Amino acid sequence: MTRFFTLVGAILLVACGGAGEGTGAESGTGSAGGDDTSSSGEGPTTSVTTTNTTGTGIEDPTSGSGSTSGSGDATGSGGSGGSGGSGAASGSGGTGGTGGDDPFAHAPVCSSDEHWTMGDHESPLMHPGMACRTCHSTKEPRVATRLPIVGTVYPTGHEPDDCLGVDGEAEDVVVEITTADARVIQLPVNASGNFLFDTARDRTPIKFPITARVVKGDKERKMLAAQMSGDCNSCHSQNGAEGAPGRIVAP
C-alpha cells in the first residue's frame, strides 16, 4: 500500500511539471479628421499641397494609443522516483485608441475672452465670425466683390460673433484653398482669426467651386464638400447653417 501511494505521488508531480509558453500582443489606434475656415489680413500665397474642404461637414482628427502587459511563470519539480518537470508561461497584450475632444460639443464660449469693439471701422481684423460678404454686399458692394473668400477660424465650434478667434500669427495657422482649376492658395489667419482673399493683391479670378482645409503645423482639418460660395461665415456661424456644424475650427 505504501508503494502504491508513492507511485501515485510521483505521477502527480510529473503531471504538474508540464511546460508551455506563449505571447500575444495587440494594439490599436484611431483617427478621424475634419475642418473649418476663417480670415486674415495678410496677402495670399500659392503653394503645391493637397486640399479638401466643404461647408457641409467637418472631420476632426484624433488619435490615441495604449498598451497593457503582464507575465507569469510557474515551475515544479520533484518525485521520489527521480522524475521532475518545469514549466513557464508569459503573455502580454495591448489595446489603444482614444477619441479626441469634440470642438462642437462645447457650449458657446468666447475662448479668447476678447472682442472686436471698433464697430464698422474697416480693417482685416473687423467683425470676426460675421458673414463679411453678406454684410458688405448691402453696405459696400465694391468691398464684397473685392473679397471673394473670407471667414474666421476659432478654437471651438460655437463661438459668438465679434469674439476674436484663433491668433493665426502666433499659432501659425493657414487656410488652404483649392479652386476648380486646381489652383492652390494659402491664406494666412490673422490675429483676429480672420482670413481673406483680396483681389487688390491677387487679381487672378477665383474659379468656383472651391475646397478648403485649415492647417496648423502637421495637423489639418478638412471640409467635406466643394462650395460655390466664399462667404464662409454665412454657413459657419455660431450655430451653423446649411449643414455646417458651427464655426470653422483649427485642428
Encode pLDDT of 166-191 as tens digits: 999 999 999 999 999 999 999 999 99
Backbone angles phi, psi at 217, to 5 degrees: 65, -125
Whether 5 is in a domain gets the answer no
pLDDT in the model for residue 94: 33
pLDDT of residue 200: 93
Single-letter amino acid, residue 129: G
**Dist. CA 179–CA 228, nearest whole Å:** 10
**Spans in the chain with pLDDT lower than 70:** 1-100
Residue 92 counted as domain residue? no
Phi, psi (5° rounding) for residue 11? Answer: -65, -45
Q: Is residue 179 part of a domain?
A: yes
Q: What is the pLDDT of residue 100?
A: 66
In-domain check, residue 219: yes
Q: Is residue 82 included in any domain, yes or no? A: no
239 falls within a domain = yes
Range of the domain at 215: 45-60+109-249
For the question of whether the overall pTM of this predicted structure is more than 0.85, the answer is no
| pLDDT recorded at residue 207 | 97
- Counting DSSP H helices and E strands in the chain, the numbers are 4, 10
- Written as nine digits, the cell of 219 is 495637423
150 domain residue, yes or no? yes
Does residue 10 lie in a domain region? Answer: no
User: Measured over all CA atoms, what is the biggest interatomic distance in the chain, rounded to whole angstroms?
Assistant: 112
The pLDDT assigned to 245 comes to 95
Number of separate domains in the chain? 1
